[in-house]
Amino acid sequence: MRGKFIVLEGLDRSGKSTQVDRLIQRLEQDGPARLQKFPDRTTSIGKMIDAYLQSKTEMDDRAIHLLFSANRWECSKRIREDIAKGITVVADRYAFSGIAFSAAKGLPFDYCLAPDEGLPLPDVVINLSLSPEDAAKRGQYGEEKYETLDMQERTRAQFKLVAREMERRHPGRWKDVDAAGSVEEVGERIRQVVGVEVDTELGQLWM
Ligand code: 2DT
Ligand code: MG
């Protein structure tokens, strides 16, 4: 049986990385599972993205958008191979962050969608949603690009449009999960939505 392709999305401070780690530990009790972070900053494209996020280089909005997508494409072969081998892949961010962040900067929504068409389709997308008030309680933002209140608010609005688009194109795969509460409470909510059975072949995004 093939592995699953699970994506976790959410704004900064939604607890995404903590929950991804917990989820993988739990999945590993049933079979092999691995983490795939996006951006994957270890590749040569990833290093360019990293420099941009740390404001060490400047980049045209479209150029960086395409690099984020190219970073997914260069990792997609290994994702497909692992899933075919029965390994479950859990991605920390994916194309949905790609659209939401770039559209929040003002790029046309359909433009943002296009370069990811044909990438592996997640079996389930868990979107950790947190109110602006609860996010504010979790402390200061970091120093990287996009880690400002204004950008996070705009990205939050775009994530709602991304969710709608996903529901239209691939019904039933997008799951909003309330990220308020303790690590254990949120982990339990994730556990309840992640138990999807996969009987079909891995699909292609937006197709
Ligand atoms: P991390 O803090 O999770 O490393 O993310 N981003 C991410 C984009 O703008 N486009 C994308 O396609 C992806 C995957 C979100 C670093 C930042 O990169 C943004 C936060
Ligand atoms: Mg970050």
Which domains, and CATH codes, for the chain? 5-194 (3.40.50.300)
Question: Whole-number mean pLDDT of the chain?
Answer: 95
Q: Give the 3-state DSSP-derived string for the chain, with helices as H, strands as E and coil as C.
A: CCCCEEEEEECCCCCHHHHHHHHHHHHCCCCCEEEEECCCCCCHHHHHHHHHHCCCCCCCHHHHHHHHHHHHHHHHHHHHHHHHCCCEEEEECCHHHHHHHHHHCCCCHHHHHHHHCCCECCCEEEEEECCHHHHHHCCCCCCCCCCCHHHHHHHHHHHHHHHHHHHHHCCCCEEEEECCCCHHHHHHHHHHHHCCCCCCCCCECCC
Residue 197: band (very low, low, confident or very high) from pLDDT cuts 50, 70, 90: confident
Q: Is the CB of 99 under 6 A from ligand 1?
A: no
pLDDT of residue 143: 87
pLDDT digits (tens, 9 = 90+) for 131-181: 877 877 887 788 899 998 899 999 999 999 999 999 999 999 999 999 999
φ and ψ at 96, to 5 degrees?
Answer: -70, -40
CA neighbours within 13 Å on the CB side: how many for 170? Answer: 19
pLDDT of residue 33: 98
Residue 199: is its pLDDT beyond 90?
Answer: no
Residue 60: band (very low, low, confident or very high) from pLDDT cuts 50, 70, 90: very high
pLDDT of residue 134: 83
Q: Is the CB of 146 under 6 A from ligand 1?
A: yes
Q: Is the CB of 53 under 6 A from ligand 1?
A: yes
pLDDT of residue 20: 97
| Nearest ligand to the C-alpha atom of residue 155 | 1
153-164: string of b/e by CB count within 10 Å (b at 16+)?
ebbbebbeebbe
| Nearest ligand to the C-alpha atom of residue 97 | 1
Q: Please, what is the end-to-end C-alpha distance for the chain in angstroms?
A: 23
Report whether 204 contacts 7 (CB < 8 A): no
pLDDT of residue 13: 86
Instruction: Give percent of the chain above pLDDT 70.
Output: 100
- In this structure, the residue with its CA closest to atom 18 of ligand 1 is 39
Q: Is the CB of 23 under 6 A from ligand 1?
A: no
pLDDT of residue 131: 82
Query: Which amino acid makes up residue 141?
Result: Y
Residue 200: band (very low, low, confident or very high) from pLDDT cuts 50, 70, 90: confident
Global pTM reads: 0.96
Question: What is the distance between the alpha carbons of residues 163 and 170, in angstroms, rounded to a whole number?
Answer: 10
Closest CA to 162 of 118, 96, 107: 96
Q: Is the CB of 39 under 6 A from ligand 1?
A: yes
For residue 93, the CA-to-ligand 1 centroid distance in Å is 7
pLDDT of residue 136: 75
